[in-house]
Amino acid sequence: MHPYRQFVEDYERLYRHGKNIRLGGFSKTPKPQILPEAPSVLIFSPHPDDECIIGALPLRLLRQDKMRVINVAVTQGSKKERQSGRLEELKRACDFMGFDLLQTAPTGLERVNAKTREQEPAFWKQSVDSIAGILNRTQPKIIFFPHEHDWNSSHIGTYFLVTDALKTLSLNCYTAETEYWGQNNRPNLMVQSTAEDVADMVAGTSFHVGEVTRNPFHLFLPAWMQENVRRGSELVGGQGEAAPDWTFATLYRLRQWKDGAFAEALEKPRLLPASENPAQLFP
């Protein structure tokens, strides 16, 4: 038997072992003291669990730079019978991660998708106004939201919802577009995560018990972040360039919202190792 057989079997063994680890219920991670004047970072999560899955850079901004990270629950899922339960899971996940939490509505916004935007403009405007109100109150330095081709209808809807809200305001901020269901073919930032951070992201995702019971997103997260190293090494680092000696990473498209439109924030694509302070990206 060649050595790669054992290598792959070890991967499978770890995954099977992970299915026996309890879901959620862990003590919260240590959170740094956040000063009242600390910059705000908003994560616009299409669903409860997205805040943990794409949260690599927000987690670093919290831990390394003591920024206030606020998860905005755009929706609480489409199944009405699960919305209150998902909210409770989300509260516990955010508490574990050290993120603050804002609701958009008692049960979240409904029908957040491109079809609603096109066919129900009055209803859509109400949702846009809700997001605009949150942006106006919090005045964030950085916002995270899905890119426009992230496959899932609520993810794509959240992209349009946030950008439509930005167009109604005079706010200038950094924007970091995330990916999960659909790959972003134009990332310009690859962010390394330590094993400790990834373990906390996996544990945080596991608090979403109802979701990971039907599909164990949390157990696939480390492998997805390894795949991001492969993709990002060439999409961000450059075609044919050597990959950095990283195990885990997340890809983002970093821009600015400035004077009512997107503007480039980086002169060239960046690799951000765990040893560097992420605040340097946001002068």
- The predicted-structure confidence for 119-149, as pLDDT tens digits, reads as follows 999 999 999 999 999 999 999 999 999 999 9
Separation of alpha carbons 230 and 62, rounded Å: 26
**pLDDT tens-digit map of 66-78:** 999 999 999 999 9
CA 56 to mean position of chain CA atoms: 7
What are the φ and ψ backbone dihedral angles of 49, each rounded to 5 degrees?
115, -25
**What's the pTM?**
0.97
**Distance from C-alpha of 71 to C-alpha of 178, rounded to nearest angstrom:** 14
pLDDT reading at 1 higher than 90 = no
Hey, what amino acid is at 79?
K
- For 237-258, what is the mean pLDDT? 97
- Rounded Cα distance, 213 and 177, in Å: 28
Fold of 38-281: Rossmann fold (3.40.50)
3-class state of residue 239 by DSSP:
coil
Query: Domain limits of the chain?
Result: 38-281
Judge whether 69 and 63 are in contact, CB under 8 Å: no
pLDDT of 92 above 90: yes
What is the pLDDT, as a whole number, of residue 36? 94
Spatial CB neighbours of 55, under 8 Å, sequence gap ≥ 6: 43, 97, 99, 201, 204
Q: Which amino acid is at 32?
A: P
Strand 270-272 to 261-264 pairing: unpaired
Nearest CA-CA partner of 204 in 18, 50, 58, 24: 24
pLDDT digits (tens, 9 = 90+) for 14-57: 999 999 999 999 999 899 999 999 999 999 999 999 999 999 99
The pLDDT assigned to 224 comes to 98
Poorest-pLDDT segment among 1-5, 164-168, 202-206, 247-251: 1-5
Tell me the sheet residues that pair with 103: 73
Spatial separation of the C-alpha atoms in residues 57 and 281, rounded to whole Å:
11
pLDDT at 15: 97
